[in-house]
Homo-oligomer: A and B are copies of this chain.
């Protein structure tokens, strides 16, 4: 799993079916790369989280039918980035 920081939410009106009720967050990796993740935890901008990718991302959702490839798995209590 990767360690990333929540940047913001993603507003996306036109979606394919199957993601409709999922919260989407924009995350930033330690290298500055931005990704989009499903958030079943309720993370806020600035939180450090770890993410599950690949097929594990679907299992990390309450509904595994969501077609995500990146899901927030938890909010890290303490994290000092030094990347």
Residues of A within 8 A of B (CB): 1-3, 10-16, 18-19, 24, 26, 30, 32-37, 40-41, 50, 52-60, 65, 67-78, 83
Q: Count identical subunits in the complex.
A: 5
Q: Tell me if A36 and B1 are in contact (CB < 8 A).
A: yes
Q: Tell me if A67 and B77 are in contact (CB < 8 A).
A: no
CB distance from A65 to the nearest CB of B (A): 7
CB distance from A79 to the nearest CB of B (A): 9
CB-CB nearest in chain B for A12: B74
Q: Tell me if B67 and A2 are in contact (CB < 8 A).
A: no
Which of B3, B30, B57 is A56 in contact with, Cβ under 8 Å? B57
A16: B residues at CB distance < 8 A:
40-41, 60, 71-74
